[in-house]
Each structure stands twice: as structure tokens, then as C-alpha cells.
Structure 1
Amino acid sequence: MIRLAAALAALLFAVTPATAFELRLGGAARQLSERDSPLGSYALPTGPFRDGSIPAQRLEGRIERQTWRIDGPGLTTLQILAPLRSQLEEAGYSLTFDCKDNECGGFDFRFGTEVVPAPDMYVDIRNYRFVSAVKDKDTAASLLVSRSRSAGFVQIIYVNRDGTSAPPAALPETGTETAPAPDLEAGFSDRMLQQGHAVLGGLVFDTGADALDPGDYDSLAQLAVFLEDHPGMVIALVGHTDSIGSLDENLSLSKRRAESVRSRMIDSYGIAPDRMEAEGVAYLSPAASNLTPEGREENRRVEAVILREQ
């Protein structure tokens, strides 16, 4: 069985001829996002989190960020990563740092390095792998791989791949530099205040299950920051489902999922219980059509809704 999974992984990630170098994830992968900065900077991690920082090489030029999802429970993070790592080496990249969750620095590494925000990237701080690779002083790439119970997630960051831009020279590595963490509240607070509600993206529940999967969720961290910055705000966590199943079943499931999120906010972020209510509306407030798999997936969500300020 293990050999079969390994063979499947090799087939899925096989390199195909291309005019420009690009890592190939195969037909089983679905791209979630792509962000291209013609002139930007990236702190490429070169070692684990230690003594309060992550050693990093600061690079400048064209920065390309991609995230991918691979549906299915079969492949491990190593089976996802290994073919991609081999492709980098075959393309002339040298691996400078290769680690697994706790070896990287666990929670501190995950939040000290650049990660595309949820829902476009999911990282379980107890199950992820990271690789940094360089081709020359201007060209580099990094891989971040994690998974939920039902899917694998891949983040790829390219720096000046294939000489596609003429960047300024890369700055030399000098001691240690902490890679900048993303601004967790950017955009979320505005949506809450202007619209009165916001979807908590990237939450993972098994099909038909009400317990929130283990792992770290950027959207919950964003909500925690919002509530800390607005100490008088009271919200409702509202669960939504797709239209499969009866109304009574979905009402119950949607409320239990909201309660699971509420419990996580209390236990992990210390939010006072009396500041959050949990409700469920089943399929009565869809965000998209229930006639397509994509629409049903979008409808399965939990939203934070402002109730009042006390």
C-alpha cells in the first residue's frame, strides 16, 4: 500500500516539458491563489526559529506566490513534498534548509515566516514541512506543505525564477533576520465594521462532522485580534451548510459547528464566553448556488456577525 501511494505521488508530480521552469503538481492539484509582485522582497528562511528569530536571506526582485490544494486523505506531507523538492534539485537549485514542523520551530516558525492567509493556505502547526532552495544569488524558491484530514496544501514562493525580471542584487545574509509575519488584522477589521459580518475562512470540518479539525487557523487569529481591539463588541458565530439533507439535520449541524468554533476561541484565544453566541441557520442563507460542488463548498461556512457593543 505504501509503495502504491509513493508511485501515485511520483506520477502526480512528474515534471512535464515547459518553456519556463515551474513546479508541476499534476492533475490532482487545484490552484487556490497566485500573487505576483514585479518588484518586491522576500526573507527566505535559512534555518529554524531560535533565540527569538528566524535566520533569513533577504532577496529582492520579482516575487511570485502560489497556493494549491490536493483533495484526498491518502498522501502524507512528505509524499507531497518529495517530488517537488526533487524537481527543484533537477532544475539546478541547491537546498539550503529542509525541516519538519517541530524541527522548523513549530508555532514560532509558522508565524515568523511568510504564509499566504487563509482560506488560500492552510497550515497545521503539528504537521507541516518547509524547504528553502537557491539557484544563484538572485534566484530562490521556498515550499511549505501541510494538510488537513481531507486535503493537502502547498505554498510555493519563487524569487526571480528563470530570470523573468531584472531585480536589484540580492542582499547578503547578515546574521539573523526575522521574516515578517503577515498583518493578521489587515482587511478583516474593516469588513467587520463596514459590513457587520465576515466569513471565517479556511475552517476544516470532516463531512457531516461538527468538530473543528485540529490545527491553526488564520481567520480565528484575525477574529481574536478584532475582539481584543474592540473589547465591548459582542458577536454571534453563525454556522451555514449546503442543501444536502433535511432542514432539521442541517440546523443542528450548523449550530454545533458554530459552537465548536466558539469553544476554540475560548480555549485557544481566551475570549470571554459572554462575548460570543453560537447559532446555526442551515442552508437558509446561501452564499452561492447549491447546484454545483463549488457552490456547496462555499455555502459550508461559519461567519462572525456583530450583534452589539456593550
Structure 2
Amino acid sequence: MIRRFALFVGLICAAPVWAVEMSMPTGSRLVSDRGSAFDSYDLPVGPWQGGTVETVTLEGRVDRQSWRVESGSITTLQLLDPLRTQLREAGLDLVFDCDAQSCGGFDFRFAIEVIPTPDMYVDIRDYRFLAARGEDRAVSLLISRSRTAGYVQIIQVSPADQEGLQISPGGAPAPVMQNPDRPKDLAARLVEQGHVTLDDLEFEIGSTNLGTASYDSLASLAAFLLANPSAVVALVGHTDASGALDVNISVSRERAASVLRRLVEDYAVPEAQLRAEGMGYLAPRASHLTAEGRELNRRVEAVLLALD
């Protein structure tokens, strides 16, 4: 169980107004914004340890935002660093700062409050978390990225009669990695391994429709198929183990079909080079018994069937 320690910030009288602005990188877009005039938030102040995450329960005005950053190959640390500096300059003390491994990996991510997808995306292998505190307020940052964009979750607690940190999208351009040490590209992995997971795909909530964003994996796969007219790829959908097998096979096949349509309609890939299949929950890559495992198992893979 998560330990909680109460700190009441919402009833402080005559607290000073905090007119501080945080600038997001250029290319940032506010995805979700929800404020509560009086609410509570369990601020993580330590890693997952001994089966729990230590938190401090704060009460007051709680603002929850998520941002998408069109950032190319920027790393999570490059996203975090200027925001961390701005919090220090605003007079907040950093009380906890970790990356995925030191935070506690899967367990930490699923023990803390996270805005649901698609408004917030968290790669459980690549994220960073920061908690900062001032005299009467606190801010947490959760930063991750897909293959196409960065994601920043900001949760802040301030006195109930005051506004929180003002956040704007017009900051400095996001830094771009120079000569990043990148893994083999999708085409190379597809040929070498015979299959590859399209990890950056995001589907609409409660739907089998592929989201409207641009996905690096589809651009790479399309380029490979157009350059190799003899290549044939099966798009194979996978689900978690929730629900009946026949339903899951249908859902997984429909999601694969949605990806196929995107490749044909947006990238002009010949339909003859593509197949759409569904495996349901029969080919997991992690345990279906944990939340993090189920998240990993919901995916679409490309399987190379032919290449002359």
C-alpha cells in the first residue's frame, strides 16, 4: 500500500501570489487540461521500494496537464532538463528526481497518478519523473516519449485561492540530438528478425481506429515496402487477455486492418503487399497478469512473409 503523509496547502491564509511562468519547448501542444478548485494529490517522493511508493498527500488547487512535443529524436532527459531548471529558478526545491530504472520501472509507473492515454503516453522503459516543493505548493513532472513525439505530464498543487504555475508553449526550441546512437532502423530489424513491433502506434480510446498522428514506424515500413515491391508483410494485431478469445481476435484483426488502410491511403503502399491478421491474446510478449504486461501485449507487429 502506498504510504501517505498529509500536508494541507489549501487553507493557508494570505499566501503570496505566485506569478511564475514555465515555458515549454517550441512545438509543444496542450493535450489535456483539468483543474480542480479543491482536491488532493499523492505526490511521489521516493522510488518503488518494498512494494510501495512513498507519497505526500497534498490538498489545495490541483491542476493536471499533459503536453505533446513534436520533438524528433530528442531524449527524455533533454525534455526534462530545461523544465527542471525553470522550477529551480521559480524557487522550488527538487525532492525527488529519477529515470525509469531508478524510479522502479513498471511498478513505479503503475503506482502513481498518470493521465490516461491517448492524452499521456508513457514508455515504461523510457520515462523520467521529478517532484519539486515550495513553501505552500508542489509540482510533479512525468516525461516520456513515443517514436514520434515527447509527452510531458505536469501536476501541480497550490493554495486553493491562487492560480498555479502558468505554462506556455512558446519557449525555446527543443534541442535535437546530434548523431544519436540509434538502434538499427525498422527495415533492418524486420529483415534480420523477420518481425518488428510498431511500438509508436496509438489507437483511439475504446476503438479499433488508428489515431490521427503521424507515426515514424509506418513511414519507415512504407518506405521499405515501396523500395521492395516483392516484399509482403502481415500486420498482426495483439491484445491483452481481457475478454473472450473470439472477441479479442476480432479486435486485434480490426486494429491491424486499420493500420493496413493507413499504409494504403496515406503512403500509397500497394494493398497486395499487405495482410491483416489478429492473434488476440495468444502470443503475449509479457505476462497477462500484470498491468504493465497487459500494456506491452497490446500491440501491432509487422511480420515479413516474402522478399525476393
- The two structures have a TM-score, normalised by structure 1, of 0.58
> How far, CA to CA, are the matches of 1:254 and 1:43 in structure 2?
46
> How far, CA to CA, are the matches of 1:91 and 1:203 in structure 2?
35
State percent identity of aligned pairs: 39
> How far, CA to CA, are the matches of 1:59 and 1:97 in structure 2?
16
The answer to whether residue 274 in structure 2 is matched with residue 246 in structure 1 is no
What letter is aligned with 2:111?
A: G
The answer to whether residue 52 in structure 2 is matched with residue 38 in structure 1 is no
Taking a change above 3 Å as real, the CA distance of residues 205 and 236 of structure 1, as seen in their structure-2 partners, is farther
Counterpart of 2:286 (choices 228, 252, 268) is 268
Taking a change above 3 Å as real, the CA distance of residues 129 and 93 of structure 1, as seen in their structure-2 partners, is same
CA deviation digits over 1:223-272, x for unaligned, max 9? 63xx53557744332232162233634x75573xx65x85896323559x
CA deviation digits over 1:281-308, x for unaligned, max 9? xxxxxxxxxxxxxxxxxxxxxxxxxxxx
Return the offset for 1:73. Answer: 2.4
Higher percent of residues as helix: 1
Higher percent of residues as strand: 2
Taking a change above 3 Å as real, the CA distance of residues 208 and 269 of structure 1, as seen in their structure-2 partners, is farther
Q: Which of 200-209 and 236-245 deviates more?
A: 200-209
Provide structure 1 residue ranges, at least 5 long, that are not aligned to the other structure: 1-18, 167-187, 192-196, 212-219, 279-310
Return the offset for 1:51. Answer: 0.6
Query: Over aligned residue pairs, what C-alpha RMSD do you find?
Result: 3.9
Q: 1:160-171, aligned counterparts within 5 Å? A: 160=158, 164=162
- Matched residue, 1:139: 137
What letter is aligned with 1:228?
A: S
Provide structure 2 residue ranges, at least 5 long, that are not aligned to the other structure: 1-17, 165-204, 223-236, 290-297, 301-308
On the 8 A contact 1:148/1:204 being kept in 2, the answer is no
- The two structures have a TM-score, normalised by structure 2, of 0.58
- Matched residue, 2:104: 105
The answer to whether residue 41 in structure 2 is matched with residue 23 in structure 1 is no
> How far, CA to CA, are the matches of 1:206 and 1:34 in structure 2?
29
- Matched residue, 2:155: 157
What letter is aligned with 1:246?
A: A
- Matched residue, 2:87: 88
Taking a change above 3 Å as real, the CA distance of residues 55 and 91 of structure 1, as seen in their structure-2 partners, is same
On the 8 A contact 2:60/2:159 being kept in 1, the answer is no
Q: 1:161-240, aligned counterparts within 5 Å? A: 164=162, 197-199=207-209, 206-209=217-220, 224=240, 227-228=241-242, 233-234=247-248, 235-237=250-252, 238=254, 239-240=257-258
User: Structure 1 stretches (4+) deviating beyond 4 angstroms?
Assistant: 197-205, 229-232, 251-254, 261-265
What letter is aligned with 2:106?
A: F
Report the 3-state secondary structure (helix = DSSP H, G, I; strand = E; otherwise coil) of the residue aligned with 1:244: helix
On the 8 A contact 1:210/1:253 being kept in 2, the answer is no
